[in-house]
A and B are shown apart, each in its own frame.
Chain A
Amino acid sequence: MTASAQPPIPEKVDASLRLPVLIFFGWAACWLVLGTFLCAVAGLKLVWPGFLDGPAFLTYGRIAPAAVNALVYGWASSAGFGIVLWLLARLGRTPLSYAVLPVAAAIFWNLGVFLGVLAILAGYSRSVFLLEFPGFVSAILFVAYLFIAVWGIFLFHRRAPGSVFVSAWYLLAALLWFPWLYFTGNALLVWGHPVSGSAQAPIASWFASGIISLWLAPVALAGAFYLIPQILGRRLVSYNLSLLGFWSFALFAAWTGMAQLIGGPVPAWMVSTGVVASILLFIPVLVTSINLLGSMRGSFGALNWSPSLLFTVAGAGSFLLVYIEGALLALPGVNAVFNFSDVLLGQGALVLFGFVSMSFFGAIYYIVPRLTGQAWPCDCLIRWHFWLFTIAVGVGFLCLTFGGIAQGFALSDPGVEFASSVAFATPFRFMGALCAIALLVGSKCFAGLFFRSVLSIFEPSAKPSAPGVIV
């Protein structure tokens, strides 16, 4: 099932993708640095409200959503688009034609995100989670997306004959789900006259969980399904496991959002579907993890020489952890205590920085040398990047979770004052803010490496290294 030897075609494919994919990754790297910077500022404000205090655009309620949107739509989505185009072209052994359109779409998408983040800081936020951008910005994003998706589907349509690899299932699904999701969310909650407030809670929860589980997660999994067998030169554990994992994920993931509304203003059956789906999602998550990590069996030594593999495996491990935690938090008794607490912040950090970002880093470390024709300039910066991210995500997740547990018990005990829940959480939030600073440093390592690598194309002395050594 793995794409086998494919001599001159890959170089042709890579040459056709060089400009659009590097533009997507370049924007993504800038957004990652800006997003983690805003995260660090927001984190410090939570423990030290006087920090950078005063002007309206620096208030916590604007910085925090600006950070999340910069990371989700700027960093993760831009990087995701680059990965989608590259993987579809590689898997289908089809060069990209008319690259000017995806390049234009990349520029429009990112200018849209830029305007959106500015609008949030300037006070034009709608305050619906992940739909904070004003309507005209989400319209720009939607149109830019259509150009990218049409190109992706076009690439898939013109693929070379042969069976379709599991990565392509996920990519195709993500490309079809995202516009439906994004259009519905904006049409009902942002554009024109939004629906009555009574109907907004379930739609907003469905949307927010969909952006993660139906857009970013499938792209991240597609990357892992391609990279692990490709780098190790072996097959996935089982085709049938891939099939089961994909279809059960598609079936359950879309329903999980309602588990955030246990006790909330929605009909009871909706909450029940969310709880059941979140717990059943354990099946695809377990199956997919066995399939991915099982392919690693006996080859963990490869983690030493392949940074792509290292990041991808860290992403796959976070994937397992994120959805196990999701299933636990969907149990009504657990949710009653820990909903609204910092446990959710920890889970969000693990999804965004652990699962999605680590998986995307793995793919980018694999793709970029193939586009520039040169190995990464500095091995030690890659190590710094990996360890800063791994430690910051791990420690940050644990701190926010433990702090959230203490906070959750305080919030649900009628004998404890509200102020105590803040006091319990504060030291853990301080640690979380330090971890955000470490993420910022790690992101700068990554961005520095990326831009050095891209600029080296233009150095006259640069000689392309053999494609075999760059992993």
Chain B
Amino acid sequence: MNRMPLLIFGVFLTFAAAWLGLVAYPYLTLGRLQPVTDESSGDVSPPPLSGLAVAGQKIYAANGCVSCHSQQVRPAYLTSDIAKKLGPRRTVARDYLRDQPAFTGSLRIGQDLANYGLRAPALSDIHRHLYDAQAVVPGSIMPSYRFLYTMRKISGQPSNEALTGLSGPHAPAPGFEVVPSEDADGLAAYLLSLKRDYALPEAPQEITE
């Protein structure tokens, strides 16, 4: 091939076509989606995150939780995600409006977390799970996030924030207690905020057998 301008033009054009379709188009359409306000109740969907949950989202990003946990529920006509109770409906673009970044994920080495807040146990159980997953769920391969917790000597009254019922090799010795750091509190708040059960015009609840 000797016509260089043609080569460069072709290389430019093939890339530009995909760029317009897959980058510029979502930027101009999905990027401008707004929350939906229910006129009778005044509820905003998706609901805004609390400050603590926003801080927790950063901890979720910093520790690469998305390496193992997706946050996507695919439609019932295509997959069994809804039959597996990952959520009441498929997730759509507007569900990720408050996400920075959007943790859609590509692997399910761990469970999907799109609707973790809907099925989450009590806060203290979440902390116990983050602190030492194997002690809570035998056979779990989730890493221990005990670097988000402080083990300290009990001075006077035990803290009412301290984790209770810890067992296993990382349980505190008598006279010691484990308390969550701000980061751990944020992460737990973020996980509890993961609820995609509000109604959106483009995503009605799906029916499963």
Contact = CB atoms under 8 A, between A and B. Distances in A.
A binds B: yes
Interface of A: 45-47, 49-50, 53-56, 59-62, 64-65, 120, 123-129, 163-164, 166, 169, 172-173, 176-177, 180, 184, 188-189, 194-204, 206, 214, 243, 247, 250-251, 254-255, 257-258, 260-267, 270, 273, 332, 336-337, 339-342, 344-345, 411-414, 418-419, 421-423, 426
B93 A201 contact: yes
A337 B78 CA distance: 9
Closest 10 CB pairs of A and B: A61-B64, A263-B74, A254-B18, A197-B99, A199-B31, A197-B96, A340-B108, A127-B61, A123-B62, A199-B30
Contacts of A188: 23, 27
A198 B141 contact: no
Nearest to A173: B11
Interface stretch (B120-128, B132-140, B153-161): B132-140
B152 interface: no
Interface in B60-106: 60-68, 70, 72, 74-75, 78-81, 83-84, 90-106
A270 B93 CA distance: 13
A281 to B, nearest CB: 12
A53 B143 contact: yes
Contacts of A184: 19, 23
B195 interface: no
A423 B141 CA distance: 10
Given A49-B141, A54-B147, A124 B27 contact: no
B207 interface: no
A128 B101 CA distance: 7
Given A257-B22, A340-B106, A164 B63 contact: no
A199 B27 contact: yes
B14 interface: yes
A126 B63 CA distance: 10
Nearest to B82: A414
B96 A206 contact: no
A423 B109 CA distance: 11
B178 to A, nearest CB: 14
Contact of B90 (A164, A263, A413): A263
Contacts of B21: 255, 270, 273
Nearest to A273: B21
Contacts of A264: 72, 74, 91, 104
Contacts of B99: 197, 200
A198 B94 contact: yes
B142 interface: yes
A197 B101 contact: yes
Contacts of A262: 74, 78
B204 interface: no
Contacts of B40: none
Contact of B64 (A59, A163, A204, A206): A59
B169 to A, nearest CB: 8
Interface residues of B, number: 77
Which of A54, A128, A202, A421 counts the most chain B CB atoms within 10 A?
A202
Contacts of B105: 340
Which of B11, B84, B99 counts the most chain A CB atoms within 10 A?
B11
Contacts of B94: 198
Nearest to A426: B141
Contact of A206 (B7, B12, B23, B92): B23
B48 interface: no
Which of A56, A127, A257, A266 counts the most chain B CB atoms within 10 A?
A127
Interface of B: 1-2, 4, 7-8, 10-12, 14-15, 17-19, 21-23, 25-27, 29-33, 60-68, 70, 72, 74-75, 78-81, 83-84, 90-109, 111-112, 133-134, 137, 139-147
Given A198-B33, A340-B106, A414 B14 contact: no
Given A255-B18, A264-B72, A419 B84 contact: no
Given A59-B147, A254-B15, A340-B105, 12 more contacts: A50-B144, A62-B62, A176-B12, A198-B96, A203-B27, A204-B102, A204-B104, A250-B14, A254-B22, A263-B90, A270-B21, A270-B26
B58 to A, nearest CB: 9
Given A127-B60, A199-B31, A332-B78, A59 B145 contact: yes
A336 B146 contact: no
A433 to B, nearest CB: 12
A341 B108 contact: yes
Given A196-B33, A345-B107, A164 B2 contact: yes
Nearest to B108: A340
A127 B101 contact: yes
Contacts of A204: 101-102, 104
A266 B75 CA distance: 12
A60 B22 contact: no
Contacts of A120: 64
Given A54-B147, A176-B11, A127 B22 contact: no
Contacts of B32: 196
B183 to A, nearest CB: 10
A238 B62 CA distance: 50
B93 A126 contact: no
Contact of A49 (B31, B90, B133): B133
A45 B93 contact: no
B106 A129 contact: yes
A379 B11 CA distance: 40
Contact of A214 (B15, B33, B134): B15
B139 A422 contact: yes
B137 to A, nearest CB: 7
A62 B143 CA distance: 11
